[in-house]
Structure 1
Amino acid sequence: MRGRKMYAFEIATRGNASEWVTAASGVGVFSRAPKPTVRSIAERWIHEQTGRLRGGRLVVVGRRRGAPRGFVPSVRIRLLDRAGHRPLASAYIGVDRRDVVRRDGYELPTPMGVDRG
């Protein structure tokens, strides 16, 4: 991809009732294709949340896919077209379902509080 492209993005976390709650959104000009762009946004957000995340892994998917089966996401980052209507790529932060409850007592991460101030 050459040049610069304007994308909208949305970062959401799981609320108490398992619904997605928007934590941040915006529009920016980027020089990469959608999947590398959403990965970059996700990695920056992870870095900004140091000490607040309980672990997990990052999964990046294309425009037509949701989180993989067997994966329990706690954060969703969506990259949308400029108008914010058409999804282009998504990234999820979460854990594999088989890792949700193990013998060591690890449980699904609780919903994250996002500092909005």
Structure 2
Amino acid sequence: MESRRAKVFRLLGLARRAGGVAPGTDAVRRAIREGEARLILIAEDASSVQVEKVRTTLHDRAIPQARLGDRDALGAAVGLGPLSAVAVTHAGLADRLARELSGSLGESSTDALEA
């Protein structure tokens, strides 16, 4: 049976193939500013500087966010090198990912969604 984390990474790859992700801190910040970001995923080992850049851009916007995997795993999920952050811009897949992440609270507290 597929773990929730594996399912999240699989769905993230599907979002990438559908053209529904903004990979990397700069692209995430742009997607937030342009109102395209539906879900923000931040690597657990992202530097505090990168995390602060994303959180500052979020300001008071109610976009769900979660810490998920390390930079290598987050990047690999979307077919790229290490990434500190990824924004999911595809509304349907962002909703599915958010449901999976919400259901994974018992598996790992770092996967909890924040708004």
Higher helix share: 2
Higher relative contact order (CA 8 A, sep 6+): 2
Q: Considering only CA atoms, is the larger Rg found in Structure 1 or Structure 2? A: 1
TM over 0.5: no
